[in-house]
Amino acid sequence: MITLGIDMGSNTVKAVALKDGRDILAARVEKTGHDLDAITQQVVDTVLSEAGIARAAVAHVIATGYGRVSCTLADADVSEITCHARGAHFQIPEARTVIDIGGQDSKVITLADNGRALDFVMNDKCAAGTGRFLEVMSQALGVPLNEFADFSRRSSEAIQISNTCTVFAESEVIGLIARKQSREDIIAGLHASIARRVFALSNRLRVENAVALTGGVAKNGGVKDAIEKVSGRALLVPPRPQVNGALGAALIAFDRASK
């Protein structure tokens, strides 16, 4: 049985094609544009093509993410909290807490033994400490995002970033560059700033080990290092952190189709 999960996020659209609730056949991530429906259709078409599947062969489609309600390709929509919990449990069965840092929000979810979400807290009022925050800083510093971890690990002393607002933090970083501060120390400071925000968010819940780190920002090892340092907890990054929500949606689609 083939099922499909679509995660229509604020920054990217993700899709996962799943076979029999076990095997990931294909997955895709694309940046959102001015036409979210067109991008979603493109991502779904690409995933089905890579998996060698006709649309008619898909048994059920679940959409999640902020654009889920308007997704015309889905049979139903499910909250991102439920989908992220399910996806994390599939990828890391021992996980009991999920820290997800996406394009425009951060969330912490506690899980039951079966992967059901028990409780969660979410920061969706500000882009500070999210993927968009890092993208803005990448442009200001002239350092590709995929090099941020290496830069921060070469830092001799992380610079304190006092502003939490993305706009003000960008101005602060530009000022630090003008004063000839090293990019390594600035990036280490940015990672530390994100870690403090995530740690403060997680303190609103009872965090249980093991802790999984998901979302696109989980691919940045410097952020992982910083969160581990401030929290004193080891973090587990699943094989596919960025498509975790879409994977959870595909798993839920399999459950529903099986019934």
Dump pLDDT digits (tens) for 109-127.
999 999 999 999 998 667 6
Same domain, 188 and 248: no
The average pLDDT across 207-222 equals: 94
Q: What is the predicted pLDDT for the residue at 153?
A: 96
SS3 130: coil
Q: 10 pLDDT exceeds 90? A: no
Same domain, 4 and 81: yes
Same domain, 152 and 248: no
Same domain, 229 and 248: no
Q: Which tens digit of pLDDT belongs to each residue from 167-192?
A: 888 999 999 999 999 999 999 999 99
pTM value is: 0.93
Cα–Cα distance measured from residue 84 to residue 248, given in angstroms and rounded to the nearest whole number: 6
Asked whether 258 and 21 are in contact (CB, 8 A), the reply is yes
Residue 196 pLDDT class (50, 70, 90 cuts):
very high
CATH number (domain holding residue 25): 3.30.420.40
SS3 259: coil
Q: What is the predicted pLDDT for the residue at 34?
A: 84
Q: Which tens digit of pLDDT belongs to each residue from 92-109?
A: 999 999 999 988 889 999
Same domain, 51 and 166: no
What percentage of the chain reaches a pLDDT higher than 70? 98
Q: What is the mean pLDDT of the chain?
A: 94
Same domain, 100 and 169: yes
Same domain, 150 and 174: yes
Beta bridge partners of 211: 97, 235
Transcribe 3-68 into DSSP letters.
EEEEEE-SSEEEEEEEETTTEEEEEEEEE--S-HHHHHHHHHHHHHHHHT--GGGEEEEEEESTTG
Same domain, 106 and 60: no
| Range(s) of the domain holding residue 87 | 1-92+242-259
Which of 25-34, 83-92, 201-210 is modeled with the greatest confidence?
83-92
Same domain, 107 and 225: yes
Same domain, 18 and 31: yes
Same domain, 70 and 136: no
- Residue 102 CB neighbour total at 10 angstroms: 28
Secondary element (H or E) of residue 195 = helix 183-202
Q: What is the predicted pLDDT for the residue at 125?
A: 64
Q: What is the predicted pLDDT for the residue at 231?
A: 95
- How many structural domains comprise the chain? 2
Q: 210 pLDDT exceeds 70? A: yes
Same domain, 142 and 231: yes
Q: Which tens digit of pLDDT belongs to each residue from 40-66?
A: 999 999 999 999 999 999 999 999 998
